[in-house]
A and B are shown apart, each in its own frame.
Chain A
């Protein structure tokens, strides 16, 4: 089969020069199982786009909204974020109350001990339970993690491939 036509369409697709009908042809082409290797890289995109057409809302949505329309309601704002009560609920077990008093008291002490300004590092010290007993082992994790971060940040001598979102480059290295 001659794939030249599809390749031409594809080239125009990337350039945003295709018509709706041509884009439909591309989606149809890529939805069949036998896609030649030179075009296989792009298959997922068109398969995804075709499948996305079936994303939607269920029937219970229909009933609810139709009823609201009938009642003449215009905008209904439903609170989706957990209320304060719900957020505090994990804390409300009896055994935890004692622990909380200790933590709260401790944190208050620490706050009073400082010069009154809020600490910038605001995480809960008690939530960090060490996985290692000795610092030599911990060092391996520290070093390994920093190396991985370095790998992602450092250009490694070649131009970085496109990233999709805005990429803020770190400040220029100090001399």
Chain B
């Protein structure tokens, strides 16, 4: 395997790493720091990674572990009512249709983020990042069967929510 180049091999992965970290920590600042730590850590170890088959899967694994660490540390810290990291409020009024579209997506985002940690991690890796069951299993450190069971649960939970909304005539 050729030597890893930071700009051409690692940096292009930043967005998928960010999406995974964000799904786990649910905090944009923590997610960004996690991606930075991941890239720098992998970069530091670049000479040891000659046996690694997929750099991308390796980075996702490191990212997941670092994101979990951050979550654990955030929970252990004694937090006062800190401000959550959120988009700035929108000053410009929008056409109804576009706004409705965004509100609907925001709703799905909330439902997704309300899934238990394992479920939403699996959904992120499979549904959004399009990884194979085997890769998801490797990144999450669980069996392929377990991945499928986890996805099944997550999707059933989401399905029930969507059907409920439809019934209530949203």
In the complex they form, do A and B come into direct contact, defined as C-beta atoms under 8 angstroms apart? yes
B108 touches A53 (CB 8 A): no
Select one of A44, A45, A51, A61 contacting B14, CB under 8 A.
Answer: A61
Report B112-170 residues with CB < 8 Å from chain A CB: 112, 114-116, 126-128, 130, 132, 148-149, 151-152, 155-166
Q: Please list the residues of chain B having a beta carbon within 8 angstroms of any beta carbon in chain A.
A: 6-7, 10-11, 14-15, 18-19, 22, 29-30, 32-33, 35-37, 39-41, 43-44, 80, 82, 104-105, 107-109, 111-112, 114-116, 126-128, 130, 132, 148-149, 151-152, 155-166
Interface centre among B36, B104, B107 (most CB of A within 10 A): B36
Q: A76-84, A113-121, A125-133: which one contacts chain B?
A: A76-84
Closest to A81 in B: B82
- How far is B130's CA from A14's CA once the two chains are assembled, in angstroms? 16
* Residues in chain A near residue B116, CB distance under 8 A: 164-166
- 22 example contacts (A-B, Cβ-Cβ < 8 A) are as follows A14-B155, A23-B126, A23-B130, A47-B105, A48-B105, A51-B105, A55-B22, A56-B15, A57-B18, A57-B32, A61-B32, A65-B14, A65-B39, A69-B10, A70-B6, A74-B44, A76-B36, A162-B156, A164-B111, A164-B114, A164-B157, A165-B116
Any chain B CB within 8 A of the CB of A13?
yes
Select one of A70, A75, A80 contacting B37, CB under 8 A.
Answer: A75
Q: Please list the residues of chain A having a beta carbon within 8 angstroms of any beta carbon in chain B.
A: 13-17, 20, 23-24, 40-42, 44-45, 47-49, 51-53, 55-57, 61-62, 64-66, 68-70, 73-78, 80-82, 87, 161-162, 164-166
- How far is B166's CA from A76's CA once the two chains are assembled, in angstroms? 47
User: Given A23-B127, A45-B158, A49-B127, is A69 in contact with B6 using a C-beta cutoff of 8 Å?
Assistant: yes
